[in-house]
Copies of this chain bind each other. A is one copy, B any other.
């Protein structure tokens, strides 16, 4: 029997079952901590009409941006976009629907989706275009808007290390949206740099318990840097 071993051996297997018009939640911030190879597999599969939920949409030739040329994305829910030309073209022409969501609200919507909380109130966005059509309610004399949670048919996640049971550890700011994304997918697929045996990770240091993870694969990563800023050595 398979027990809790979540490891799959090919990216094809990792993304099996993804079909047109599904909703995918993706971890990552800019190009940092993105599930590079899972995105490539989505491109290879060629599924269309996808709704992507991700803080950003990559650049022209990397990250979620690579799904744009073949018009695979129908709608994106994000906080900050437009770092690439094809994205702008599709958005301006109306081929691509963009639902801009404040970054903290987006993170909380994913967390709520995974945590069985259908909606929550937040002051973020009150009185702005984000509030349009949303319930407003006062608590302690301040106005808040009601935001609904998000779940996906798939969640795609990049972690640093995992044990075979899918317990995950993230590294530095590559953590970002990944832990919430992991909780919010009907099927959560995780790619990592290293897979160890169960028991090798300290239970106190696991960031995402394996219960959220359905499939796990070891990949190699380019980890492209968007803004390479440095100081001179010796300063």
Contacts and interface: CB of A to CB of B under 8 A. Distances in A.
Interface of A: 108, 112, 115-123, 137, 139-140, 142, 144, 148, 169-172, 175, 203-205
10 contacts: A108-B117, A117-B120, A118-B140, A118-B144, A119-B120, A119-B137, A120-B120, A170-B204, A204-B205, A205-B205
B112 A203 contact: no
By Cβ-Cβ distance, the 7 closest A-B pairs, closest first, are A118-B139, A120-B120, A119-B121, A205-B205, A117-B120, A118-B121, A118-B144
A120 B112 contact: yes
A204 B121 contact: no
Chain A interface helix/strand/loop/mixed: mixed
A204 B117 contact: no
Contacts of A115: 108
Tally of this chain's copies: 2
Contacts of A148: 139
Contacts of A123: 116
A227 B117 CA distance: 33
Nearest to A203: B172
Contacts of A142: 118
Nearest to A175: B204
A220 to B, nearest CB: 21
A148 B140 CA distance: 11
Contacts of A204: 169-172, 175, 205
Contacts of A169: 204
A140 B116 CA distance: 12
Contacts of A140: 118
Nearest to A119: B121
Q: Which interface residue of A115, A140, A142 has the most chain B CB atoms within 10 A?
A: A115
A173 B116 CA distance: 23
A117 to B, nearest CB: 5
